[in-house]
Structure 1
Amino acid sequence: MSSTAKPAPASLTFVCLHYWAGSGREWEAVSKLLAPDFAVLAPDLGGFGEAPAPAGGYTVDAYTDQLAAYLANKKLARYVVVGHSMGGKIALALAARQPAGLVGVALLSPSPPTPEPMTEDNRQSSLRAYGNPVKAQETMQHITARPLAKTIQQQITQDNLRSTKAAWDAWLLHGSRENITSRLCHIQVPCTVLAGDQDAVMSPSVHGLETLPLLPEGTPLEIIGGAGHLLPYEAPEEVAALLHSFGRQL
């Protein structure tokens, strides 16, 4: 590190939200790479990982309420919300509320504020795939582009299979279809968007068309070459480096 590098902001925490059918475990490698400069919190969202069902249901607002309560309990002075895929839509909904302490938003292959570009055939296929180990393996192979260690592959499929059916179905049928575009004018903190150029779920063009125009002017779209949809697993070094740079700018 050069002597002219800016020091890490004091007490800045990254609060990282996982993708649909995932868990907070996806952030383990990124968290280690950000330490000791930045703290990382990676809660499981209701109905996924080890989290119980959210008290208010499975809407974007219910998840946002759950997140707001979690943050209030943590009493964070300064934090960045990092949202991956489904977590991205929840991060946007939270930022639109302008909560105290929020200083930035980082979006990784985010679910757009508009309804996700999902065909009805894909939606029905995903609904039928619940709890199927073979389908979980096929899904992992479809949404990733870089080779992954066997232990990571097992973790991805395990998280898929331990999702609750209520949370699984609710996102496919309702959450992914919600439109929160009217709220995004209330986001007043710096934002950044990261995407893999081999993402088979949401290509970078989706973010450029559906999300970027609604974020603060000058929000960058960073492309990670050769990576698919699961950036924290596929490209932890690149993700951590971009988050580190973003955190230092705040």
Structure 2
Amino acid sequence: MLTTAPLTFVCLHYWAGSGLEWQAVAGLLAPEYEVLGLDLGGFGAAPDPAGGYSVAAYADQIAAQIQESRLPRYVLVGHSMGGKIALALAARQLPGLAGLVLLNPSPPTSEPMTDAERQTSLKAWGKPGAAEKTFRKIVVRPVPEVMHAQIVADNLRSTKAAWEAWLLHGSREDISGRLSPLTVPCLIIAGGSDPIMSPSVHGLETLPFLPEGTPLEIIPGAGHLLPYEAPTEVAALLREFAGKHMLAAGM
């Protein structure tokens, strides 16, 4: 569809992260595209959400923020936990939604995590040593020290309620029954060396719920935190996605 309305990428972060993870990507997309990196309730600078911690409640939060921002056109971009929330919101097909991009997304079905992994993560809340250990586990490519510090700081400022709610409930939710029909253009971007969820997980658990022909792009040698580890590649894929589907302003 040809349009001159500006396009905004509305970006949702990973569990125990914040909207700050999109800063490098935003800089690479400016000035052609706006990037709105939001903090999910209980993470980053956002207080615990009044509406609860379910996937639907988080989708309500983001829908309200989009409405308040009066965005004429936007692409939802969800990373990990944010991917599941973006899927739930995209299924509502609200006015202005132009596309959906998922980065290493938590699948619409229950996230693959063993009970032992879940218990270890529950016990890690608020512990600097555990936050550093998590960083070393999920980040594969070298990142600048300022990013390293931000990743650890975001982990430690997550509220206990939000931390536990995702591990015990949100990650286990099955929202697959709410996703038909998804009609907007979609894209999955995966880290080829992601130690949390391999690209095959996305192909098996998420791709079947997206429109036929949705591509799965793999960034070789990148881990779970793609906006930090591979901002140049992520920005290029977002720009290509917008261009391919004639989403750029003035087209």
TM-score range, shorter chain: over 0.9
Alpha-carbon distance in structure 2 between the residues aligned to 1:144 and 1:45: 21
Q: Does residue 1:140 correspond to 2:135, yes or no?
A: yes
Instruction: Note the aligned Cα RMSD (angstroms).
Output: 1.2
Match of 1:225?
A: 220
Closer/same/farther in 2, CA of residues 135 and 8 from structure 1, 3 Å limit: farther
Sort the Cα spacing of 1:97 and 1:139 in 2 relative to 1 into closer, same or farther, 3 A.
same
Is the CA contact (8 Å cut-off) linking 2:5 and 2:72 kept in structure 1? no
Aligned match of 2:238 in 228, 238, 243?
A: 243
Aligned to 1:45: 40
Q: Secondary structure at the match of 1:93?
A: helix
Q: Select 2:111's aligned residue among 113, 116, 133.
A: 116
Question: Which letter maps to 1:224?
Answer: I
Cα distance, 1:249 vs structure 2: 2.0
Where has structure 1 moved over 4 Å in runs of 4 or more?
Answer: 7-10
Deviation at 1:187, TM superposition (A): 1.3
Q: Does structure 2 conserve the Cα–Cα contact (< 8 Å) formed by 1:64 and 1:93?
A: yes
Question: 2:52 maps to which residue?
Answer: 57
Q: Does 1:97 align with 2:97?
A: no
Q: CA deviation at 1:234?
A: 0.1
Q: Output the CA distance in 2 between the equivalents of 1:147 and 1:157.
A: 15
Is 1:8–1:248's contact at 8 Å kept on the other side of the alignment? no
Mapping 1:154-165, distance limit 5 Å: 154-165=149-160
Structure 2: gaps spanning 5 or more residues: 246-251
The residue that corresponds to 1:20 in the other structure is 15
Structure 1 contact 197–228 (Cα < 8 Å) conserved: yes
Say whether 1:33 aligns with 2:32.
Answer: no
Question: 1:172 — aligned with what?
Answer: 167
TM-score normalised by the chain length of structure 1: 0.96
* Matched-pair contact (CA < 8 Å) for 1:97–1:186: no
Q: Distance in 2 between matches of 1:62 and 1:122?
A: 25
Aligned 8 A contact 1:208 1:221 in 2: yes
User: Identity over the aligned pairs, expressed in percent?
Assistant: 66
Residue from 181, 186, 191 that aligns with 1:191 = 186
